[in-house]
Structure 1
């Protein structure tokens, strides 16, 4: 069996299978890539599938910026039942027959669209005094997390299906949401059910986009494993792929040279707060810039001086 070459530095887009944690996928990718320097840009729960962005080698330095990208999901919410975890993996805690008044669902969805304050699920990965919230919950503690501002830029109901849960009439709704980083779709399902007075939880979740990285660019994990077994290279995107997820600045040759020497250059748009991918005339990612001040500084540089 041929031994594949170690993967180059860059981004690897995986369609995460169900039942795997994000850490499981990273561990597998380390073996496939032939390096320990692999990380991910945003956790997906084991039950969730879809876009998982991995960084390999120097691209791990990009992950802190990609984590902040907006994300899109396709999900199924069950109204009429609540669980400990706000999703289908948790113990059922209450059932309420669903018989919604006309327009009630649309009104509740509208109220949860836009800039809102969201209390994360108690079984989230948020740390409390150094320990993950989910670990405290599993240890029997009652966990109360503070609300945080998030943005739900789109919350679309695609379909509704009546269902029966052990004799209780419930309602399954298929939705698509576009959300800011840090939004918990499980919590959105919980809050929608609470607003309607019937409870709710998530039964399916698929991440369809991280920034502008979509499912059509992702490879199933099984395909990557099979390909490496036959000597194929991993379909790693170069560092310049960061331009698909971040704001972009095209540099002159002189500006690119200044950045490689660790010097500052004038900001193209002083005051903007988002990270900026700075590309040289050849399209190479030179650095990620902070342009919040008149002089832009490099948060990380990817091209060595004189290279």
Structure 2
């Protein structure tokens, strides 16, 4: 009886606080809320328009011809679109693997072996992150040509290899941030205890360090995959004939006019990205992270 009365009182107090909060809303509070809604519309309106126009039955994307699924059916009928999507997914997957391996090792090293070198290394990673993609693209093209032709390394003449390596640059920095952010807040006592129990460094890494970092590793992999799907500028420079990724295909389609199937594939890729981000949040939530910790890990903060 006492517990029920206490719960009723708490509920009443919460309701009263909510009413007082609503009553105290000033004009500036309302203005800020309206401004926030306008900002959200400004950010997401173009995406909403693309999703709507992916169901356009007209011949051109900008000419609405009615609602239908013709654009999605066209994807099945056009091998060029299928090949571009296939190349993008394959290269994004390979780039995500490269970025995850390198970024995980870098993140663990920065979190477990602190020192002045960490800040220099972080500065280099930041430089990779903020360098314009056009600079990376111009630098990568002659380097790939040198490795593939002058140095005789045939693999660098392959379009998939070029695209994968080029897409993994920025993604590696992102994974490094995420893994470091995850492990910095973790106590190293378990790893020290593993060493005290005569475990080898590799065993400690495999059974203690890697499981601790695994949520961030999986999150980094999925984020690297989604980032690599949208690597347009580097892909346009380093691609070779027969391995045109989806972003470059869209750029080339601008010359003849965008068709609704472009929006249809873009919608599918948007859904793929949202699913990947949802899986990232789910993995981190299963690991016991709060919403604040999930945002901190995903941004490398």
TM-score (norm 2): 0.23
Bigger relative contact order, structure 1 or 2 (CA pairs below 8 A, ≥6 apart): 2
- Which structure would you say has the larger Rg? 2
Q: Normalized against structure 1, the TM-score is what?
A: 0.23
Larger strand proportion of the pair: 1
Higher helix share: 2
